[in-house]
Structure 1
């Protein structure tokens, strides 16, 4: 695929699977055009995960209450915008929840959906800050394989959907995930306000339940699209179904270990 550089006559060749099928509406958008954005940002993220703890362990953990609060509020607002845009514009276009093909359409509503999904992709880059906060605060139990796997793979997956299917049924998992992130970052924002507020935050386990319900729904939703032969795209639908399975296992394991087992041990004492 040839990507033009503004008004310059120079071109750059990018090599990746199915370049001719990339959606023409978003193929040149920031952090979407070049496939090199993905490995470069991922490499930076993995270097932070590997070397960050080695550096911070030599120093006292930071509190970072103010940056944490403002980051959480920013993510609440961003995810709120994404969720609202996806709900309002898909309803205006009469999108189907069960099966909505991705059509190359430049209507204002379709472009607003594509823009919201691009911001959803960008939000996954901004969520790398969550890992940085864990490292700087030396919250080693929270810097788990599940956390790193979730943040790194979601970033890659979102690049794929924005590059190839930035409208259509893509809106369903993005809408659900952005809604859950509104709740999640609300919890994070409140948790840094001190003991007076923290004592009322007894609903963390329900966040994990919501995430489990999300992945169960996505697996069932993607499965029914496959069975119906939805024109959205077999390869991306199958990918969504398969992608949800490791999360079901890991979040389920996390829930059992941190809430079920802990509750049983507490009662035993």
Structure 2
């Protein structure tokens, strides 16, 4: 049986960003209860690991209107069977963190960081772990935008094979982790995009360089492009059925070339 590592996240009253070994996993609003169970195995490494939460804003007590749902920040690291829904309360919790200041504690200085560390036995070494450390100088930024423009052109033209050809490392590393093969994973994603773009009746939002923020993460070895408007993925649009779609990407320089690694 294939098992996966995931987080059981429950946050209310805090605007946060959660990281696994420096990789941004999710962001939470300050005014709405947030729960999620993201898979994180692709960001875990042999030896020392860290899960961290950066708190950027705290809702005032008057904003927490539900007495049964007080301000909370709970992140549990769990393992479970691939493809199965674990009933609430039955997660196999390994460890985690809880931020629960006492009512009389002074408010923390923001941004406030909470984290914990743990060790894992030997496993695969991901390509992003040994990728080149980048700095966002003019030359690197210009080259990166050329790469993003090429990805965007593939989407606009509906060239899904071209788009997926820039993600070979992603398929090679993630497929075994999730109990499949790179070929099957690529075929499944190609089918998904084919459905999205069915009959050409889909849209791809423009990629405007001035509206893109480049976030260095994982010690500078990975870049995540985000929209400056809402911090969401830069590749997005409407599918043929009218529903919104988006494609988050994490990019590293591997053997001198940019590649989508996650």
- Report the TM-score, using the length of structure 1 for normalisation: 0.25
**Higher RCO (Cα < 8 Å, 6 or more apart):** 1
> Higher helix share goes to which structure?
1
Q: So what's the TM-score if we normalise by structure 2?
A: 0.25
